[in-house]
């Protein structure tokens, strides 16, 4: 979290981490300010980052769309859409935000500071988008594009090579047919808990061979988990 006693030094450090020097740092400060922080700090001069996030999301989509369109001229629209979604989903963006140590610079309420897991992932992903928006406002499209390229373009090839743009069941089925000419089947092996809190255990099979198991709150979730485990078990 930014040291509010020396905001300029903190913002200068953040500029170095993201590789962008701002003409007006108020844009960068706004980009790392969560709405909850302003609820507790009425004296703050900056706004919160939601409008910047809205803008950054649009810039991000355009940059990634343009990049994928030119990188993969043979791929159809549906596949490009799925690859783009895998590149810019919450998990992917929060990973990039973590590598940039954005958590160190977030301005949050005391309550939000304690959140971890999915809630923190969501905040980090949104902050990454708001920083894109702030760069676009302060330095323009080309600098924003360079920032996005440095942080996301390299993630594309592993996503395509490992078919991570597909859900696990689709990937497992394609690879199973490619390697064994067998279509996977799924079988519910167990279910526990009351109706409102049921946990399913599902096995994925190739022919009569059980490859892996997965668990989930629904059969569909358990099947996806089993397929993911099957990919690992097969080394696919």
- Complete edge-to-edge strand list for the sheet that includes strand 185-192: 185-192, 199-206, 209-216
Which is catalytic among the residues 129, 138, 213, 228?
A: 129
Residue with tokens 């989930």: 216
The pair of structure tokens assigned to 124 is 């980090």
| Distance, CA of 99 to CA of 101 (rounded, Å) | 5
Q: Is 129 one of the annotated active-site residues of the chain?
A: yes
Q: What DSSP element (H or E) covers 199?
A: strand 199-206
- Confirm whether 138 is a catalytic residue: no
Compute the chain's Rg from CA coordinates: 22
The catalytically annotated residue of 57, 112, 138, 228 is 57
Q: How far is CA 33 from the centre of its chain?
A: 20
Catalytic residue positions, numbered:
57, 129
């Amino acid at each position: 979290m930014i040291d509010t006693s020396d905001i300029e030094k903190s913002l200068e450090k953040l500029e170095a981490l993201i590789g962008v020097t701002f003409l007006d740092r108020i844009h960068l400060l706004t980009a790392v300010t969560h709405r909850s922080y302003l609820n507790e700090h009425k004296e703050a001069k900056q706004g919160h980052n939601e409008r910047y996030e809205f803008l950054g999301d649009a810039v991000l989509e355009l940059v990634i769309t343009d990049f994928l369109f030119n990188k993969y001229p043979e791929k159809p629209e549906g596949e490009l859409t799925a690859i783009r979604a895998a590149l810019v989903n919450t998990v992917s963006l929060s990973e990039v935000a973590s590598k940039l140590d954005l958590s160190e610079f977030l301005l949050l309420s005391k309550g939000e500071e304690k959140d971890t897991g999915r809630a923190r992932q969501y905040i980090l992903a949104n902050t990454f988008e708001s920083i894109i928006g702030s760069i676009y406002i302060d330095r323009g499209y080309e600098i924003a594009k360079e920032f996005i390229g440095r942080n996301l373009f390299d993630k594309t090839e592993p996503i395509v090579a490992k078919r991570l743009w597909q859900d696990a069941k689709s990937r497992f089925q394609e690879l199973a047919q490619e390697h064994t000419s067998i279509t996977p089947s799924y079988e519910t092996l167990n279910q526990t808990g009351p109706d409102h809190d049921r946990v399913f255990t599902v096995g994925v099979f190739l022919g009569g061979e059980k490859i892996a198991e997965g668990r989930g709150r629904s059969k569909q979730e358990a099947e996806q988990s089993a397929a993911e485990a099957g990919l690992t078990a097969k080394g696919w």
